[in-house]
Copies of this chain bind each other. A is one copy, B any other.
């Protein structure tokens, strides 16, 4: 243990009790919502608390109540610009429920076991996992301990863990439809991480959507959801003699990089020479220099759903897996050639929504 013993313990509820001339349990009841305390006693306690600078000790309270009011959020990295937005929204939504966000980020190896040990030691009330997974034994442990877990923007093959996602497969298919309707004849896909559910579903949807139009020849490279790897993948794909004229990139974080490579290294005009569609609809996709047509993820609603599941499960003690699947929209901007129909205006945005849907 470190040396420093200079952190002062703080004013205790016993000190407030003595000052107010009541018992320690009256002080506690004053600060416990719903507990029985008379107005007169409450005022005395609050006055003393204020005078003494009392702040209840959440650590002690957590020990007694078996409720830390801490939610662990695990995000291996924040580089993908989707996740900072999610994090900010989570901070807001959790604070509104009087929960606090213990963040685990900045670990590169994606192995979350050491992280998991730490958060379990803190007896967190719930866990939100983004961009990382949970082994089945750790999942079991959470179930046994009665701690709700929600996967954010991710699923597992087992349905045992709650999740909030969007219809990535339908999204991929919608993009395929859009590009085909735009008259494109050759197609490429720059993949995310091969072991990620979001990538698998987006890829599958895209491939199936193209196949439904009789197209089976799709060029695929992997970008690992990383800017550097996406640049490499783009260079490889755009160097082919049979270069595809329409690209679906698995997320906007990579799409931005791919567009830079296409324009500045290959001198391609977007969308005249190459159409490009991303996924997530994060900040830079919307910036004028990029204007990426992108499948949106309704971030606020996803966060709402996540916090909703957590709060319900914490309150009820029933932590059976629950899955919320939300719809996004294909937001049309300037990065891809347009179909002749199916584009509607919605909330000040152009949306691709063909007639059959």
Contacts and interface: CB of A to CB of B under 8 A. Distances in A.
A194 interface: no
Contacts of A4: 146, 313-317
Max chain B Cβ within 10 angstroms of own Cβ: one of A34, A68, A103, A256: A103
Interface stretch (A84-92, A206-214, A342-350): A84-92
A100 B314 CA distance: 23
A146 B89 contact: no
Q: How large is the interface on A (under 10, 10 to 19, 20 to 34, 35 or more residues)?
A: 35 or more
Contacts of A314: 2, 4, 7
A105 B87 contact: yes
A156 interface: no
B100 A101 contact: no
Interface string A111-122: 000000110111
A49 B33 CA distance: 37
A68 B60 CA distance: 11
Contacts of A8: 144-146
A102 B102 contact: yes
Given A58-B123, A103-B103, A1 B77 contact: no
A95 interface: yes
Contacts of A66: 5, 7, 9
Contacts of A102: 70, 100-103
A289 interface: yes
A62 interface: yes
Given A7-B67, A55-B117, 12 more contacts: A1-B67, A3-B317, A4-B313, A4-B314, A9-B66, A10-B145, A59-B59, A59-B63, A59-B122, A81-B84, A89-B106, A91-B105
